[in-house]
């Protein structure tokens, strides 16, 4: 998970009222970064997701989406660009990563700097807002949270290709993400190699089955006692993760108010629910999608050594891919869950996509 949503103070930016689902709020990258000059710009739009309609969480199917347009975009009307779909982590949102909300990262600045310094080619970069009732969608598919897999891989891609000058083909599309977003990038990327040709994971969560919240107790677990949104918002971070994961991977349309099954009920462990949760761990899914992963143009992932559980899990991913003979880029670096992510994007992820994504 991320937990990065707790970093920084919010500096709110209010867009003009959006009358139509596709209307835009244009935010200059220089203004977002608080710098005199920062090439490129960010546009923010509402995109309607048919795949998200009727979700039992009650989240709006009209999702904010931030789109970074590179420096040459406005002045080169005949030019088309490859696209990176970037997925944020748990508790985060597109406005935290792309501006205007103050956060531990400002992605447009990273992108513009990498381009200016010659580390990266120019890309359109797209980030949907996956902050939900449970503070994150897990980019999965179920009746409680909605079909985020289809929203990202089909509807969002179609919307971007229809509105911007993209190179609308898989070999010119990459997908990446941090933490929960890294999980989503691998889940969606390996299921849709006909849409995305290259995948990069930054500190991806949820590769291995978690026993968090699955231990029996003498009475109802903390997660069981949370029965409304106010209680959820004030719950400890780890408890929120248990509930959000259950919403994504153990939905139950007959169990209000949250419409999910928890791995403990009345203090008793529920192995059937734990199995449903574990089945969504990426390493559990890997064998079924290995042919698709083999067909990718590129697959990369990294994590900080202080991010111990995630670092351990990507070591296992590295071993599994090597056993299958799948070429990939892998690194454990000196860092924690967030402190070097900007640097890794600039020096590793963007050059990775620059080499792999087709520009014609």
Please give the pLDDT value at position 218. Answer: 52
Distance CA 320, CA 108 (A): 34
Distance CA 323, CA 194 (A): 24
Residue listed under structure tokens 């992605």: 107
Identify the CATH number of the domain in which residue 160 sits: 3.40.50.1820
Identify which has the larger pLDDT, 28 or 102: 102
The reply to whether 270 and 318 lie within a common domain is no
Please give the pLDDT value at position 37. Answer: 38
Please give the pLDDT value at position 39. Answer: 75
**Average pLDDT in the 310-323 region?**
98
> Coil, helix or strand for 260?
strand
The reply to whether 264 and 285 lie within a common domain is no
The answer to whether position 214 is within a domain reads: no
Mean pLDDT of the chain: 89
The reply to whether 240 and 137 lie within a common domain is no
Q: What separation in angstroms does the CA of 41 have from each of 98, 204, 295?
A: 10, 28, 33
The reply to whether 255 and 111 lie within a common domain is no
Which domain-ending residue is among 262, 278, 294? 278
The reply to whether 178 and 263 lie within a common domain is no
Q: Please classify residue 54 by burial: count the beta carbons closer than 10 Å to its beta carbon, then call 0-12 exposed, 13-18 middle and 19+ buried.
A: exposed
What string of H, E and C letters represents the secondary structure of 210-253?
A: CCCCCCCCCCCCHHHHCCCHHHHHCCCHHHHHHHHHHHHHCECC
Q: Return the closest-CA partner of residue 334 out of 302, 314, 301, 306.
A: 306
Work out how many domains the chain is built from and give that number.
2
Distance CA 330, CA 201 (A): 10
Q: If pLDDT is split at 50, 70 and 90, which confidence band does 166 have?
A: very high
Q: If pLDDT is split at 50, 70 and 90, which confidence band does 219 have?
A: low
- The answer to whether residues 134 and 244 touch, using CB atoms and an 8 Å cutoff, is yes
The reply to whether 28 and 139 lie within a common domain is yes
Residue 316 pLDDT > 70: yes
Residue 74 pLDDT > 90: yes
The answer to whether position 217 is within a domain reads: no
**Average pLDDT in the 49-77 region?**
97
The reply to whether 274 and 175 lie within a common domain is no
Residue 36 pLDDT > 50: no
Q: Which residues constitute the domain of residue 271?
A: 222-278
The answer to whether position 149 is within a domain reads: yes
The answer to whether position 169 is within a domain reads: yes
Please give the pLDDT value at position 212. Answer: 56
The answer to whether position 290 is within a domain reads: yes
Least confident of 38-42, 195-199, 205-209, 217-221: 217-221
The reply to whether 98 and 154 lie within a common domain is yes
What six digits make up the tokens of 312? 């351990």
The answer to whether position 213 is within a domain reads: no
Please give the pLDDT value at position 220. Answer: 77
The reply to whether 40 and 149 lie within a common domain is yes
Q: If pLDDT is split at 50, 70 and 90, which confidence band does 221 have?
A: confident
The reply to whether 154 and 44 lie within a common domain is yes
The reply to whether 36 and 102 lie within a common domain is yes
The helix (H) or strand (E) run that includes residue 160 is: helix 157-163
Least confident of 19-23, 232-236, 280-284: 19-23
**Average pLDDT in the 112-136 region?**
97
Q: If pLDDT is split at 50, 70 and 90, which confidence band does 211 have?
A: low
Residue 224 pLDDT > 70: yes
The reply to whether 255 and 107 lie within a common domain is no
Residue 209 pLDDT > 90: no
* Percent of the chain residues past pLDDT 70, beyond the cut: 87
Residue 256: partners with Cβ closer than 8 Å, 6 or more residues away: none
The answer to whether position 215 is within a domain reads: no
> Coil, helix or strand for 201?
strand
Give strand ranges (E) for the chain. 24-28, 41-48, 62-69, 83-87, 124-128, 141-142, 146-147, 173-178, 198-202, 264-265, 268-269, 298-304, 329-333
């Amino acid at each position: 998970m991320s937990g990065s949503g707790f970093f920084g103070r919010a500096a709110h930016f209010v867009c003009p009222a959006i009358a139509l689902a596709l209307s835009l709020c244009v935010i200059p990258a220089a203004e977002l970064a608080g710098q005199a000059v920062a090439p490129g710009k960010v546009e923010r739009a509402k995109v309607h997701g048919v795949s998200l309609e009727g979700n039992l969480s009650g989240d709006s199917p009209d999702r904010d989406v931030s789109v970074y347009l590179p420096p040459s975009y406005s002045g080169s009307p005949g030019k088309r660009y490859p696209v990176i779909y970037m997925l944020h982590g748990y508790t985060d949102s597109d406005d935290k990563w792309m501006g205007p909300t103050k956060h531990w990262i400002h992605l447009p600045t990273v992108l513009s700097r990498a381009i200016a310094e010659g580390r990266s080619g120019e890309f359109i970069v797209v980030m949907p807002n996956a902050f939900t009732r449970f503070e994150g969608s897990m980019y999965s598919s179920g009746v409680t949270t909605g079909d985020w897999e289809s929203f990202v891989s089909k509807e969002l891609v179609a919307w971007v290709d229809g509105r911007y000058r993209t190179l609308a083909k898989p070999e010119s599309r990459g997908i990446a993400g941090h933490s929960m977003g890294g999980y989503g990038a691998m889940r969606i990327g390996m299921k849709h190699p006909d849409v995305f040709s290259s995948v990069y994971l930054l500190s991806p969560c949820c590769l291995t089955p978690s026993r968090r919240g699955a231990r029996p107790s003498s009475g109802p677990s903390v997660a069981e006692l949370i029965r409304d949104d106010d209680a959820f918002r004030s719950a400890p971070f780890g408890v929120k993760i248990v509930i959000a994961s259950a919403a994504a991977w153990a939905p139950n349309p007959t169990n209000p108010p949250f419409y999910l099954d928890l791995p403990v009920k009345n203090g008793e462990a529920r192995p059937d629910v734990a199995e449903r949760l574990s089945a969504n761990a990426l390493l559990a899914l890997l064998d079924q999608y290995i042919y698709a992963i083999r067909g990718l143009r590129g697959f990369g992932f990294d994590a900080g050594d202080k991010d111990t559980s995630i670092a351990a899990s990507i070591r296992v991913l590295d071993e599994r891919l090597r056993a299958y003979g799948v070429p990939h880029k892998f690194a454990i670096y000196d860092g924690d869950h967030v402190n070097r992510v900007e640097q890794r994007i600039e020096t590793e992820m963007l050059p990775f996509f620059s080499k792999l994504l087709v520009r014609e």
